[in-house]
Amino acid sequence: MSEIQPIGFVKSPYTETSQIPKGCGASHEAEGVLEIEPEFEEGLTDIEGFSHLFVIWVFHKVEGYSLLGTPPTDNRPHGVFATRSPFRPSPIGLTVVELIRRDGSRLHVRGVDMVDGTPILDIKPYLSSIPQEKLRRGWLAEAEERRSK
Amino acid sequence: MSEIQPIGFVKSPYTETSQIPKGCGASHEAEGVLEIEPEFEEGLTDIEGFSHLFVIWVFHKVEGYSLLGTPPTDNRPHGVFATRSPFRPSPIGLTVVELIRRDGSRLHVRGVDMVDGTPILDIKPYLSSIPQEKLRRGWLAEAEERRSK
């Protein structure tokens, strides 16, 4: 197995996971900073040109996993790989953030949904989107429809 | 550091990384199978409802990293976190695939750009897109414009 290592840590306004908005309609407008280790700063060259980034990170406060779980957006259980549950066999998180500005090895971003101190494994540019009309959203769309009735 | 473990492996038509289409205009229409370990099959419950999935995986054939590199889409170097280079401090890959069908613990998908045998760390549902008009694509948009002249 190749070495997976943190490249930095998230500076977030959320000090407890319970403070993070969850579920449908949860708005992720919180601003935070991706504090990249200075030794990796050169790897951020030209990142300013991108409006959005993928952040791959670790659910470092979570222990264990659950293959089935009932998400806050539904009252029925679903498989962990069909949800964003933190209780995953590999406790990896993925968040799309908007890049506000870069300050050396610090990336100021909007849309953090991680707790303060979260280890960052990787950052990638967000290059393209699947058109909305091509997306099917399974149980989530069904749960939203049930709720709107 | 929490335990990051493979949940399965990619069955891909590409047996060598050199066979994988790269660069602008590279079409990723190849079909493959995400072979999830049977012990995790229950975690796939209800995944059939989603048209697209994020696959988080390991560049398991890559050793070492390079903070600056010239991607196949440009003739100028960029920081590794502003590219999809495989030579990353944490050798993690991220691919959006289209789910064709599920067969037990095997997910038949379109859009694989991994080599056969690639370890899969996690799978997540693709829930929403950033609208195309809100995206800025930095050096990639500039390189495309230069090429079109």
Res. A149 pLDDT band, cuts 50 70 90: confident
Q: Is B44 in the A-facing interface, judged by CB distances under 8 Å? A: yes
| Residue B148 pLDDT exceeds 90 | no
Q: CA-to-CA distance for A106 and A10, rounded, in angstroms?
A: 10
Residue range A26-73, pLDDT digits in tens:
677 899 999 999 999 999 999 999 999 999 999 999 999 999 999 888
Cα dihedral A121/A52/A88/B15 (nearest 10): -70
Percentage with pLDDT > 90 across chain A:
71
Chain B residues in contact with A146 by the CB 8 A cut-off are none
ipTM: 0.94
Mean pLDDT for the stretch of residues B72-94 = 94
| Confidence at residue A118, expressed as pLDDT on a 0 to 100 scale | 98
Q: What are phi and psi of B39, to 5 degrees?
A: -65, -20
pLDDT in tens, A110-148: 999 999 999 999 999 998 888 888 999 999 888 888 888
The pLDDT score that the predictor gives to residue A23 is 72
Q: How many residues does chain A have?
A: 149
Distance between CA atoms of B48 and B99, rounded to whole angstroms? 7
Shortest alpha-carbon distance between residue A48 and chain B (Å) = 7
pLDDT band at B1 (very low <50, low <70, confident <90, very high): very low
Instruction: Report A:96-125 residues touching B (Cβ under 8 A).
Output: 96, 119, 121-125
- Facing residue for B127 by CB, picked from A50, A134, A137: A137
**Burial class (CB within 10 angstroms; exposed 0-12, middle 13-18, buried 19+) of A94:** middle
